[in-house]
Amino acid sequence: MQERTEANKYTGVWPVMLTPFNERREIDWPALEKLVQWYLNAGVHGLFAACQSSEMFFLSDDEARKVVQFIVERVEGRVPVVASGHTATGTSQQIEQLTAMTQTGIDGLILISNRLAQADESDAQVLSGLQQLTAALPARIDLGIYECPYPYKRLLSDEVIAWCASSGRYTFIKDTSCALPVMERRLRLSEGSRLHLANANSQTLLASLRAGCQAYSGVMANFHPELYVWLFENWRQEPHKAELLADYLSTAALAENLDYPVCAKFWQQQIGNFSAYACRSRSSQSYAASFYPEAINSMMRLGDALKKQLSL
C-alpha cells in the first residue's frame, strides 16, 4: 500500500461501515471486530464509521461514540478513520454531539449536509450553518461533509464547496450527486486545496477517477471491497481490465436496491462475519423469503469468476 502522507491521506477506497446487531438488535461487538479485520484484509485505504450505512440515525449518541472508539482501537492506526454520527437538529446540540465524537480518536469528523439547514431553507443558510459549526469545532480535527440522502438529500452548492476548499479545514467530501459534470466542477473548485472528493456512485466511478476524483466511499465496498481497491490502484496501468471490472461493478451495484442494508448484512452473515442480518433502520423479517438472497449470491459468484478471469 502507498505510504500515507498529508496529500494522499484521504484518497482510495473508504467503505461506509455497517453496524452489526444480534437478533435482539443489540450491537454485536465480536461481529464488528470481524468486520473491521475483513475490511483491512481487503486492503482498503480508510474507514467511514457512524454513517448512514451504520444506521447512525438509529443509534444513541453514546452507542455511536462507543462503536467509533471500538473501531479506532481495532484499526490501531493502520488506516485513517473518519466518522459522523451527526444526527441532531439544533445547533447547540449538534456542536455538543460533534465535539464529543472528536474525542474518539478519529482522523476526520464528517458533517451531514442535511443537518445544516431544513429542506425548505436556502443554500445561503447551509453555508451560514456550516461556518458556525466549523468555528465551534476543535481546530485540530480534519473535517468533511457527506451528502447523506436521509432524511432528505441536500447537495452542496458550488459556494459551499469553494468555501470548504478555501477554509483549509475540510479534507473529505462524500459526493452523492451521481453526476460526472457535477463532480468535475467540484474538482475544479477544490483544485490545489486539502479537499478530496469521494464518489459514492459505482456507475460513474471509473470516469470520475479519470477526471481526478480521489476516492470511492460507497455501499458496495460492503460486498467486494477488494475489487474497488484493485480498480483504484490499477486503472491507469491496466485500462482494459479496469474497463471490464468497472462494467461489472456498475451493474452489480444495482443490488443496492435489493433492501440495503439488509442485503449487505445478509452477505456478511454468509461469509461468517455477522451472526444475524438484523437492522434497526428497517425490518429484515421477510428478507429470506424473497428472491434477494439468491440475487446477491449470484452477483458475488459473478464477481469471483471475473476476478479469476482477469487474474486480479
Q: What is the pLDDT of residue 1?
A: 52
Enumerate the β-bridge partners of residue 83. Answer: 49, 109
Among candidate residues 245, 263, 261, the one with its CA nearest the CA of residue 302: 245
**14-35: pLDDT as tens digits:** 999 999 999 999 999 999 999 9
Q: Tell me the one-letter amino acid at 25.
A: R
Q: What angle do CA 78, 80, 82 make, to 5 degrees?
A: 145
Q: How confident is the model at residue 2 (pLDDT cuts 50, 70, 90)?
A: low
Query: Parallel, antiparallel, or unpaired: how do β-strands 215-216 and 12-13 relate?
Result: parallel
pLDDT at residue 5 in the model: 77
Q: What is the pLDDT of residues 151-208, one digit of tens each?
A: 999 999 999 999 999 999 999 999 999 999 999 999 999 999 999 999 999 999 999 9
CA distance 127 to 158: 11
Residue % of the chain over a pLDDT of 70:
99
Instruction: Identify the residue with better confidence: 114 or 2.
Output: 114
How would residue 50 be classed by pLDDT, with cut points 50, 70 and 90? very high
Directed axis angle between helix 180-189 and helix 158-167, to 10°? Answer: 40
pTM: 0.96
Over residues 217-233, the pLDDT tens digits come to 999 999 999 999 999 99
Residue 309, CA atoms < 13 Å, CB-side half-sphere: 12
User: In this structure, are residues 142 and 107 in contact, taking their beta carbons and an 8 Å threshold?
Assistant: yes
- Tell me the domains of the chain and their CATH numbers: 12-235 (3.20.20.70)
β 196-199/170-175 pair status: parallel
